[in-house]
Amino acid sequence: MKKYIETKQIEAEPMTLGDFVQETGRNPYGKDIENHKETEKGYRVKYEDGYESWSPAKAFEKSYKCADTFLDRLHIEMKDLYDRLDKLVAFIDSGKMDEVVTDNYQKFLLRLQQVVMGNYVKTLECRIGCLDGAPNAPFNQMSFGVAIEALKFGLAIRRKGWNGKGLWVIKQVPAHIESDIVPKMQSLPQSAKDLILKGKGFINYTSQCLIYNENTGRADSWIPSISDVFAEDWEIVQQ
């Protein structure tokens, strides 16, 4: 036989066995009800098709988690993801992966799955932190790839391991500079302005990054070093 996982959404409220029988006139235990007390705790359950039943508290709470609010659903998602990630990490770190998986590309995909799931967990943790009252819940220990995504959203980033303090990197906003603005630009020498105006006449600023020193106010163009690319200590600069 094949294995199946049940997925369904219900409505429920705490209700003792006695109250359920009194309100609905239905006996969930049949002839065996004499072996159960009226004060037995449980839940009145309503299914999507409108059918109602009663479930003992222990069985109900083992099968269902409250998902009444968006925050409830985030907590459920994070708990489920943690459980899955723990199993994956155990499989990889125990050496079983090397025994079972012989193809290097498949091994890479499993490692990538671990990384993506780890970032997903951290993302949910930050979202839950924000919703729980910590608006600046930090997403720390980022890889360079995640840090680039932060730059795309207009956030400032830095490495925790940088020796210089007060340094952070931003991605300049793409801009189109028309010919009537070029002569007024203070950042260009006159010779450059003349060449631009003789050519297309405009400037398109695209993908450029600046590293800014908040101690001196100095901004320089920034290209990541190889150590920056492989670093795992990137963080978002909070305001």
pLDDT per residue as tens digits for the range 16-53:
999 999 999 999 998 888 889 999 999 999 999 999 99
The C-alpha atoms of residue 232 and residue 205 are separated, in whole angstroms, by: 29
pLDDT tens track for 73-94 = 999 999 999 999 999 999 999 9
Secondary structure element (H or E) that encloses residue 169, with its range:
strand 167-171
The C-alpha atoms of residue 47 and residue 11 are separated, in whole angstroms, by: 7
The C-alpha atoms of residue 168 and residue 215 are separated, in whole angstroms, by: 11
Residue pair 141/98 in contact by the 8 Å Cβ criterion: no
pLDDT at 4: 84
Q: Tell me: do 53 and 78 sit in the same domain.
A: no
User: Which residues form the domain of 50?
Assistant: 11-63
Q: Tell me: do 171 and 225 sit in the same domain.
A: yes
Beta bridge partners of 42: 56
Q: Amino acid letter at 53?
A: S
pLDDT at 135: 64
Percentage of the chain lying above the pLDDT 90 cut: 81
Q: Tell me: do 124 and 180 sit in the same domain.
A: no
Give the SS3 label for residue 221: strand
In a domain, 85, yes or no: yes
Query: Is 0.75 topped by the overall pTM?
Result: no
Residue pair 72/66 in contact by the 8 Å Cβ criterion: yes
167 contacts: CB under 8 Å, gap ≥ 6:
158, 211, 212, 213, 214
In a domain, 15, yes or no: yes
Q: Tell me: do 77 and 58 sit in the same domain.
A: no
Q: Tell me: do 39 and 121 sit in the same domain.
A: no
The C-alpha atoms of residue 84 and residue 113 are separated, in whole angstroms, by: 11
User: What does the mean pLDDT of the chain come to?
Assistant: 92
Residue pair 75/51 in contact by the 8 Å Cβ criterion: no
pLDDT tens track for 150-176 = 999 999 999 998 988 899 999 999 999
